[in-house]
Chain A
Amino acid sequence: MLAKRIIPCLDVKDGRTVKGVNFVDLRDAGDPVELAWQYSRQGADELVFLDITATHERRKTTAELVKAVARQLNIPFTIGGGINELADADVLLHAGADKISINSAAVRNPALINQLADAFGIQFVVVAVDTRHVDGKNFVHLNGGRLKTDIETEDWIKEAEDRGAGEILLTSMDHDGTKNGFDCVFLKKINDNLSIPLIASGGAGSKQHFVDVFQQSNVDAALAASVFHYGEILIPDLKDELRRHGIEVR
Chain B
Amino acid sequence: MRNTWSCPVQKAFYDTKMIGIINYGAGNIFSLTAALNRLNIPYGMVNKVDELAGYDRIIIPGVGHAGAAMRKLAASGLAASIGQLTKPVLGICVGMQLLTAYSEEGDSPLLDIISLNTLHFDKRIAEKVPHMGWNKVFHENGCPIFDNIKKDAYFYFVHSYFIEYNATFTAASAQYGLKFSAAIQDRNFYGVQFHPEKSGEAGEQLLLNFSNLY
Q: Is B17 an interface residue (CB 8 A)?
A: no
B130 and A122 contact, CB distance less than 8 A: yes
Distance of A96 Cα from B31 Cα, bound (Å): 5
Q: Is A142 an interface residue (CB 8 A)?
A: no
> Chain A contacts of B63 at CB under 8 A?
121, 123
> Chain A contacts of B195 at CB under 8 A?
76
Q: Is A148 an interface residue (CB 8 A)?
A: no
A195 and B197 contact, CB distance less than 8 A: no
Q: How large is the interface on A (under 10, 10 to 19, 20 to 34, 35 or more residues)?
A: 20 to 34
> Chain B contacts of A121 at CB under 8 A?
63-65
Q: Is A120 an interface residue (CB 8 A)?
A: yes
With A195-B129, A250-B134 given, is the CB distance from A76 to B198 under 8 Å?
yes
Q: Is A71 an interface residue (CB 8 A)?
A: yes
Q: Is B164 an interface residue (CB 8 A)?
A: no
In the complex, number of A-B residue pairs with CB atoms less than 8 Å apart: 88
Tell me which of B31, B129, B200 contacts A40 (CB under 8 A). Answer: B200
Closest-CB distance, A208 to chain B (whole angstroms): 23
With A71-B37, A74-B198, A197-B128 given, is the CB distance from A94 to B134 under 8 Å?
no
Q: Is B83 an interface residue (CB 8 A)?
A: no
Interface size in chain B (residues, C-beta < 8 A)? 35
A220 and B198 contact, CB distance less than 8 A: no
B134 and A195 contact, CB distance less than 8 A: no
B132 and A123 contact, CB distance less than 8 A: yes
A2 and B201 contact, CB distance less than 8 A: no
Q: Is B102 an interface residue (CB 8 A)?
A: no
Q: Is B146 an interface residue (CB 8 A)?
A: no
Residue of B nearest to A43 (CB): B200
> Chain A contacts of B132 at CB under 8 A?
2, 123, 166-167, 197, 220
> Chain B contacts of A70 at CB under 8 A?
30-31, 34
B133 and A3 contact, CB distance less than 8 A: yes
Q: Is A67 an interface residue (CB 8 A)?
A: yes
Per-residue interface assignment for chain B, residues 186 to 203, with 1 indicating a CB less than 8 Å from any chain A CB and 0 otherwise = 000000000101111101
A1 and B175 contact, CB distance less than 8 A: yes
B161-214 interface with A by 8 A CB criterion: 175-176, 195, 197-201, 203-204
Most buried by A among B130, B176, B199, B204: B130
Tell me which of B28, B128, B136, B158 contacts A194 (CB under 8 A). Answer: B128
Per-residue interface assignment for chain A, residues 36 to 53, with 1 indicating a CB less than 8 Å from any chain B CB and 0 otherwise = 000010000100000000
Measuring CB to CB, which residues of chain B are less than 8 angstroms from any residue of chain A?
A: 28, 30-31, 34-35, 37-38, 63-65, 127-136, 154, 156, 158-160, 175-176, 195, 197-201, 203-204
26 contacts between A and B (CB under 8 A): A1-B135, A1-B136, A2-B127, A2-B131, A2-B132, A2-B135, A3-B135, A70-B30, A71-B38, A72-B38, A74-B198, A74-B200, A76-B156, A98-B31, A98-B158, A121-B63, A121-B64, A121-B65, A122-B130, A123-B132, A167-B132, A194-B128, A196-B128, A197-B132, A221-B133, A250-B134
- A67-B30, A196-B130 known; 7 other A-B pairs, CB under 8 Å? A1-B175, A2-B127, A71-B37, A74-B204, A123-B159, A166-B132, A194-B128
